[in-house]
Every structure is written in structure tokens, then in C-alpha cells.
Structure 1
Amino acid sequence: MAEYLSPGVYVEEFDSGGQPLAGVSTSTAGFIGLAQRGPTEGLPVLVTSMNDFKRNFGSYLSENQFGSYRYLAYAVEHYFVNGGSRAYIMRVAPNDAKPASGSAGTLTLTARNPGAWGNAVQAVLEPSSKAKTQIYEVVGDAKYRVKNGAGFNAGDVVAFEASGEKQYGKVISSRDNVIELEAALEGDVVDGGLLPAKVLSTCEFTLTVAYGDEVEQFEKCSLNIAAANYVEKAAARSNLVAVTAAPSDAAVHPLETLGASTISLSGGSDGSAGALSAADFMGEDNGPGKRTGIQAFIDNDQASLMAVPGVTEPAVQLALVAHCENLGSRFAILDIPREKTKVPDVLTHRDIFDSSYAAMYNPWLQVFDPLEKRNIFIPPSGSIAGVYARSDSTRGVEKAPANEVIRGCTGLEVQYNKGEQDILNPKGVNLIRSFSGQGIRVWGARTTSSNALWKYINIRRLFIFLEESIKAGTNWVVFEPNDERLWARVHRTIDAFLTRVWRGGALMGSSPGEAFYIDISRNTMTQDDIDNGRLICVIGVAPVKPAEFVIFRITQKTNEQ
């Protein structure tokens, strides 16, 4: 309660209604795969275009070097071509991939992540200084009163220049414009002129790192480990290199200690496909900031579509499906092995899975390869993720992402007919088919679940949307007094949200009452629930189902009818 201690008029605000509840995004994709460069552990990286992907992860990979593991770049490209707008990328690298490195004296530069890309990184060292001043007075043995002692720190190497000659020393202490050096400077060092001819300056260097058009510059770096501008600290934000240096005790310019002005990195390698295994894509949970592969997406709460393009090992795909089921907030798009084109072979791979959080697509798509300047076949998962995103933005998550044209696709590796689809469709294999005059279209909308309640993709994704939206929009409820007033506010919040969803066409019924119900009362909670801090709200919704089979029954009309 507020305190009222003096007479007056008090105005107070309070919340009496429900909080606005916004829907979450359902079209952000997450991809795992091989790339030329990019981090292999930590948080997945957000890209918003193919150019953004190339800046962070490089371009296309060679088929001769990586075979069926090379499709990440193509999948991301066709995700954006087909309507995607945001994707999170987690790079996987072979165990035998190595980062490039180079050194000069005690300074060592190592590429931020493994790959031959690092061999093109160059670093240039140039002299610089963060502070300059003139000496007004000699106040003791190797002690000098200066005009301005700011920027001179213990351990800094300094240069005293007079008449074109330089002397070097090291700062012992700097306080109240009095600087003490390790050894006294020779000659007359005092200069009280307005335009000084004798200058005492710190000795640093500017590190410039370049990779193609990407240039990073770190100014006024020092080898003084106690300095705020110590080179390891200054270059810690670099996206290209990691810098390590040993502090120098010599009272000479850092560039003389390092003995080089240009460092070219070398020794980086992309590794080989033979060094890859399913474990590399499944990843390891080494704790926050150290997770790899699929496990890295545990730390990401934005991605709602997941794919490992072209990687069809059952262990990897089952790990991806388990990841989606455990989180309950994302949906897996699975590829079928390219060599499995016959119906029995496709069903053999399909029978491994039973989950409403995954869908399977076949066959592979023919697209133009900018790297090899010819048509190639790529796995469909990237393009399908783009179709999902496009359908969500134009129609809504309640619309099945099927009967949609696949953009950028010039053909199919296999053309299935209706009889073959009659076998595959009930089993949950979504085919991509070419229709005369209608282009190449997604012609299936089923999950890999054996539960008939969850056999349609849009039903599962609609529930993911509802669950995540309600969860994100009701955080304000936690630790509120658990009484009827709170229950009424929660009811109003969810009712307003579901009414908006119903009006958008995602729920069945001619009225909100037919489309959904919300029960939050003594009927859903016991006194034990309340005593243990539980607020239980039961929500029922009637999702719209896709018109998968359109049947027109026609008969002859006779005169007698």
C-alpha cells in the first residue's frame, strides 16, 4: 500500500484489464551445415539475406571436396528465394579442419574459426601514439614534470624525440603530471616553448586486419599487459582473428620488438568430408556459449523451422526431431536420401520416424549452381522452409503450406505419378510434383505422425503458434496474487487473443464460442494447486483442417427429376 503522509490529492494508476497478447513469429528458420567460414560453437548467427550469409559464412562449397554435405549455402539461398526473411545459421566443420595463423615476434594471430579462408587474411602493423607531451622540469633521478601526464601508464614504452633523435624508456609511474622512467634520459630534455621541439610520447601500434573487402582496425594497441589498450583486449572484438601476445620488458618501440610490419596468415584448411560424422551435426552440449551443431539451438528461442540440408543420416534426423519435440516450439523439415527414389526405398526411410513435429519431402530439386555454372540437384528442405515462411506471411500459419509453387526450381530429379503418391501420401511423405501449366508445386501437407489428430502440418504449427504466443504474452501473470481477479484478467487476455485468431480464419465456428473455450476457475484448480502456486487454465480450440480431398459428385439430370 502507498503511504499518505500529508494532505493532498493523489493519482494512482493500476491495471484492471488483460494485457495485450501478440502472436509470435512462425517463419524464422534454423539451418545446420558446412560452410567456408563462421563460428562452429556458441549462438547461431542471424542472417537476413543471401549476401548477409556470404559475409558471415562464405560462398558455395565444392562437390568434389564435400559431396552431399555441401548444401547449406544452396538451402539458405532458396529459403530466401521462396519467401523467407530471417534465418539462424550454425556452422559445422570437419574434425581435420584447421585455422590459419601467423606471427611476428611475440604477437600471434589466429583465424577466428577453421578453414582455408583464413589463408587470405593479412594484418598490417603501423606505429601510433595515444599521448604526447613536453617535459617542463627534471624533478629527480629519472623523474620529470610534464605538461600533461594523461595517457602515460605504468609499463608503457615511451619515446623522447629531440633534434631528430629518439631515446626509448619505460614508465615506472605516472601521477600528478610527474612521470618516472626506468632510466634517466640523456641530454637536455626540458622544453617550455609554446611550440615544443622536444616531445615525450607513448609507443603503440595500429593493427589493421583485412580479409577481402572486410577490414578491421584497432588503433593504438600496446604490449603493456596492464594497459586498457593491451592488444589482446583491443582486438577481442575482431570477427576475423584472435590475438595473443607476450608482454615485452624491452624499452624499445613495440614494432621493433615484433620485427614485422605485415603478417600473412597461413596453414588453414577446410578439412575433408571423410572426417565428418553424424556426431558433428548432432553437436555437443558443452554448456552455455560452447554448444555445437543442433545443440546450439537450445540457446536460441527465435527459430521455429529447423533443417539440416542434405544430411539424411537417420541419427542426425532423429536428433533434430527429438530437439523439436523436447522444446515443443519448432518444426523439423526432413530430406529423403537422394538415391532413394523408388517407392519401397522411400518408405523404408520414412518408417524410421513417428512425430507430429516433423515433415518429410521428396524428390530433390533441380536448380542452377552459380559456382559450377550448371544445373544441379539440391535437397528440398531449404526451399520448403521458404514456402512455409511465404505461406505464413501471405495466408497465415493455419493454411497448409501446400499447393504452393517452388520458386527458383527448374525441374525435379524424379517425377512421381498419382499412383505412386497414392501409396506415399497416406504414409506421410509429401511429394513435390510438376503440373503442366502450373509449375512445380508442393503437393502434400502431412506430418510423420501416426496419430490422426496430428497428421496435418498446419494443425501442429498452429498449436505451436498458439502455445508460444500465450506463453510469451502471459509472463506478467507469474507471482501475481492467485485469486479470482487474476483469473478474470488472464481470461480476458487469452479471450481477446483467440478471438483475433478466429477472426483471421484459423479456427472453425461461426462464433468465438464455437471456435474455442477458456476455463480458469475452481473447476480447473484444487486448493492444493493454489497452495502450491499453480494457476491452471484449460483452453480448447477447433482448428481448421485442410481440404486435402476435393470431391465433386455429378449425376445426370433427367426431365423427371
Structure 2
Amino acid sequence: MPNYLSPGVYVEEVSSGVKPIAGVGTAVGAFIGLAERGVIGKAILVTNWSQYVSEFGGFIPNAYLAYAVYNFFAEGGTSCYVVRAASSDVKNAVKVVTDTEGDNLLEISARSEGDWGNRLSFTIEEPSNGQPAGFKLTIKYTELSSFNDEYVGEEVEGEIVEIFDNLLIFNCEDKINDVSSFIKIRPLVDLTILENRDKKPQLTTEFVNLEEGKNGISSVEYLDPINQKIGIHAFDIIDEINILAAPDVADLAGSRNIILEMLNYCRLRKDCFFVADAPHGLTPQEVKNFKEGVSERFAGNAFNSSYGALYYPWVYINDPLTGKKKLIPPSGSIVGTYAYVDSSRGVHKAPAGTTDGYLDTVVGVEKIITKGEQELLNPIGINVIRSLPEGICIWGARTLSSDSEWRYINIRRLMMYIEESVDKGSQWVVFEPNEPSLWGKVKRNLSAFLTRVWRDGALYGSTPEEAFFVKVDEENNPPAVRDAGQLVIEVGVAPVKPAEFVIIKVSQKTLAK
């Protein structure tokens, strides 16, 4: 208590000791795959397509990451983290510059690995200030003009130029490496020797290309989750992600093992859900075999996890580069739909149906799936993308779990939302005196949060008492538990399940005479 010594009015700020529980976000995507450029093995926050292009480049041949992120935003996603993966043979494009005497003087390299750097070129000219040892470096980046493996060498619309003037060999690193969007520069001579500091690079009359950049797509190790540098563990330090996809995995020879690892990663995190793609070109029976791991082609452990879902078949989109139809894995559009439904309806709503499962970015499906074929796939947790009269829609909302309690995607994700929200919103309880007044505060706090969840339509019941319970009292916190320094809180909820099968019974009514 404050010590008041003179008459007057005193105002005190008093804390209730209870911190209201705020619901965590559920609509943050996470993508890992092949990118044109950018740092490898680091999760980068991306909030729009332009930012993705700035960080990772554009669309590249035989890779689907860019398309997935593009469709994520087009379907209503607002933010995601992206990890660029690569195999061990990934390499920066480089070029060594000689001095006026023909000795190696500078190395110019692309800022990040990949064959995008082979489209970088440079000229070295006299500086504008006329300094004898000075030089001007002009960097030109020619964007890929068409979606193929050929690069355009002549000047076309889409070139980007950087100019660094009045450089000297001993200060060019400071003036370029933290400024340029495209290159890094490294002197190849000992600058502690004074005569080397006056060396000047050989001038060029035409643009010279950097060479030998490689994308690193030769093996599946670029997505190996065991590799702590370039695998999915790059997401370990990112707490916000909720929905994970790896669109480049689907057609790899070892895709099943990678999917199993990613499902396990999400299970161990407990706050993330994996959206998996089946390989393209499969029949309904083959995708069933892929899920169950029973055929010679897809032999292995079956997918059985409530922390992931499998979608089939692949979909066609209008290629933003060529304007033609392109076949891609559906996961980017699916994750965007998850995010949109989370924000518009809530995480408790199944991301499926003719309204909430309608895919705006899709113009066709690889294979038309009939109702009979879906009857083979739906019970084992393969979510089919159907072409219906209403449009192309997600027509399934099941996890990969064999446990009926965790059959539906929205129930698993709702429980993830509640568990993480309660966890983060209850940290204030740690080290508080473990006695009845604390129990009352905890119960009121959790009940207030769950009442909001119930009012949002996420819990079943006409009253809060029917929808959930919170128990924290002497019965589940006896002296032995309190002596161990533990506070046990029991929470039970009744999640709303989707109306997967709508049955309308029609009969004739006989009129009484």
C-alpha cells in the first residue's frame, strides 16, 4: 500500500491480475520450394505478390513455388512465410574482372544462387570525376521474357539497370555490397599493399555476362527436412505460421517420404497444418495407392495424421506469363482458400463447398472425378477438387487421420486455434500463488474466451454450458499436485462438425378423407 502523508485525493492504477485471452491468427501460410533467386534456407515474410517477386524473383521452368504463392494471394491470402530450398549443387553466377595488366582483380557475383544470375551483365567505364584509379560499374539485369530455358541477350523491355560511379578498388565493397539488389563484389588482391589500392579494372566496351549460375534442382535433398539449413526446419523460429505447403514436392520420386516428414513436423509443432499435393497424372485408384502406400510404385508407410490433408487432382490456371493454360499442384490455391475462409467465416468453417470452397484462380481440373470415384476416395481422406455446375470447388474437408475424432480439417484446426490461444493467453498464471482465488481468475478468463468462440458459431450447443466446460478446483488440484508446483486446468469443448452429407427425406402424404 502507498504511504499517504498529506490530505488530498489520490488516484491509483490497479491491475485485475487477469489478462484477457486473445485468439491467435490462423491464416498465415508457409511455403517451401524452388525459387528463381533469394536467400536459401531462411523464412522470409511476404505480404503481397510484388514483395515475393522482389525477394525471390518470378516464375521459373519446372518449379511451382511462385505459382503457389501467386494463387495464395489471388484466393484471398494476406501474408505468408517463404523458404527457398535448393540442392547442394546450387551456385552463384560469377565473373572475374582483370586489371589493366591482365591479372585477376575483382570477382563480381550474383547476390544469391541460381541461374537467374546468368542474366546479369556489366560494363566498366571511366568515372565521371576523372580519378585515374576510379571506375564506373553499370549492372544490367534482363528479366526472363518467356517461360522457357532460353535467356534474351538483346535489350528488351524488362531490363533493370544499376549504376555505381566513382568507385575505387578499396571502397567498392562498401559502396556496392549492401546497396545493390543484384550483385556482390570482392577484390581478389591484398588491399593492405598500397600499390594494389591504385589498381584499376580493365574497361569494357560491351556488356559482359556473369556465368555458371545453377538453380540446384538436381536432387530431392533440397527439401530434405533433416537438413537444418535448407529444409522445413527454417520455419522453427517462426511462431506465426499455420498452414504449410510444398508445391514442388508432389512429382519428386521421393515425395511420399517428404510428405511423411512434413506431416510429422506439423504434428510435433502442434500449431501447423500441412496441405499435401498428390502427384499429377494419377487415376483415382492410383491416388488411393499413393495415400495408403500399398503399390510397388508408392510403397511405404500410409499417411495417417490429423495435421495434414491430401488434395487431388492437379488444376489448370491461366499462366500469368504466357496467358495459356498451365497445370500446377493445387496446394497454393487451397492454402489461399483456407486463409480466406478463416478471415471471412472463421477457422471452424470447413474450407470446402460451392461457396467457401470455390477456387477463383482455377480454370480447369486435370481429371474430371465422378461421384462414384469420389466415393472411393473421400472415406480414406483424399479431398477431391470437383468440376461442378457451380464451378470448380474443393469437395472434401477431411484430414489424413484414421481416427474418427479427428476426421475433419476444421475440427483439427479449431482445436489448434483454441489450444494455442489458451497457451499464449495463460502465460501470466506462471509463478502466481496456486490457491482458489487464482483458480477463479483462470476459470473466468478461459470461460470468457470460449464464450466468444461459441458465439462465433464454432462450438455446438444452445448455451455456453452445452458448448464447453472449464474445471480448475480442489478436485483436480489436490495438495499433492500443488506441492509439485503444478496447476491443472481441464477444458472441454464441443466443436461444430460440417454437414458433409445432407439427407433430405421425401415421402408422399396421404390426405385424410
Query: What TM-score range do you get, normalising by the shorter chain?
Result: 0.7 to 0.9
Match of 2:339 in 1: 389
Task: Flag the 1:220–1:345 CA change in 2: closer, same or farther, 3 A.
Answer: same
CA contact (8 A) 2:176 2:185 kept: no
Query: Relative to 1, partners in 2 of residues 1:120 and 1:366: Cα closer, same or farther, differing over 3 Å?
Result: closer
The answer to whether the 8 A contact 1:34-1:92 is kept is yes
Question: Aligned partners of 2:53, 2:470: CA distance in 1, in Å?
Answer: 48
Residue 410 of structure 1: aligned partner: 363
- Identify the residue that residue 240 of structure 1 maps to in structure 2: 182
Between the aligned partners of 1:25 and 1:542, the Cα distance in structure 2 is: 21
Matched AA of 1:276: S
Inter-CA distance 12–79: structure 2 relative to 1 (3 Å threshold) = same
The amino acid that maps onto 1:72 is L
Matches within 5 A, 1:253-402: 254=197, 256-260=198-202, 266-271=210-215, 273=217, 275-277=218-220, 279-286=221-228, 291-312=229-250, 313-341=255-283, 343-351=284-292, 352-402=302-352
| Alpha-carbon distance in 1 for matches of 2:430, 2:165 | 48
TM-score by length of 1: 0.76
Indicate if the aligned counterparts of 2:105 and 2:201 stay in contact, CA closer than 8 A: no
Asked whether the equivalents of residues 35 and 58 of structure 1 are also in contact (C-alpha less than 8 Å), the reply is yes
After the TM superposition, which residues 136-151 of structure 1 pair with which residues of structure 2 at under 5 Å, given as runs?
none
Whether contact under 8 Å (1:367, 1:409) holds in the other structure is yes
Matched, 1:44 2:43: yes
* Match of residue 469, structure 2, among 517, 520, 525: 517
Shift of 1:8: 6.7
**Paired residues of 1:232 and 1:243 also in contact (CA < 8 A):** no
Query: In the superposition, relative to structure 1, how do residues 284 and 267 fare at CA in structure 2: closer, same or farther (>3 Å)?
Result: farther
Q: Counterparts of 1:218 and 1:528 in 2: how far apart (Å)? A: 72
CA displacement at 1:7 relative to structure 2: 5.1
If you compute each CA radius of gyration, which structure gives the higher value, 1 or 2?
1
Q: Give the letter aligned to residue 248 of structure 1.
A: L
Hey, what's the Cα distance between the residues in 2 that align with 1:231 and 1:524? Answer: 65
Secondary structure of the structure 1 residue equivalent to 2:199: helix
Q: Matches of 2:160 and 2:352 in 1, distance apart?
A: 41
Counterpart of 1:51 in 2: which secondary structure?
helix
1:495 equivalent in alignment to 2:447: yes
**Where does the alignment leave 5 or more consecutive residues of structure 2 unmatched?**
98-103, 143-158, 293-301
Q: Residues 94, 454 of structure 1: CA spacing in aligned structure 2 closer, same or farther, 3 A cutoff?
A: same
Q: What's the offset of the Cα at 1:238? A: 5.4
Question: Where do residues 535-554 of structure 1 align in structure 2 (5 Å cutoff)?
Answer: 535-554=487-506
Correspondence for 1:114 = 113
Instruction: Tell me which residue corresponds to 2:57.
Output: 58
- The counterpart of 1:93, out of the listed 82, 86, 98, is 86
Query: Are 2:427 and 1:475 aligned?
Result: yes
Classify the secondary structure of the residue corresponding to 1:299: coil
- Alpha-carbon displacement from aligned partner over 1:448-480 (angstroms, at most 9, x marks no partner): 111001000100010111112222223333333
Q: Is the 8 A contact 1:33 1:281 kept in 2?
A: yes
Q: What residue number does 2:28 align with?
A: 28
Measured after TM superposition, the shift of residue 257 of structure 1 is 2.2
Q: How far is 1:204 from its partner?
A: 8.9
Question: How far is the alpha carbon of 1:362 from its aligned partner?
Answer: 0.7
> Per-residue deviation at 1:503?
0.8
Residue 441 (structure 1) shift: 1.0
- 1:137-188, CA deviations, whole angstroms, 9 ceiling, x for partnerless residues? xxxxxxxxxxxxxxxxxxxxxxxxxxx9x9x9xxxxxxxxxxxxxxxxxxxx
Q: Work out whether residues 107 and 258 of structure 1, in 8 Å CA contact, stay in contact via their aligned partners in 2.
A: no
Instruction: Decide whether the 8 Å contact of 1:31 with 1:307 is kept in 2.
Output: yes
Contact 2:31 2:246 in 1 (8 A): yes
- Compare the two structures and name the one with the higher strand fraction: 1
Deviation (angstroms), 1:308:
0.9
Which position in structure 2 is the counterpart of 1:455? 407
**Which string of whole-angstrom CA distances, capped at 9 and with x for unpartnered residues, describes residues 177-203 of structure 1?**
xxxxxxxxxxxxxxxxxxxxxxxxxx9
The 2-side partners of 1:218 and 1:7 are apart by 70
Sequence identity (%): 40
Contact 1:221 1:231 in 2 (8 A): no
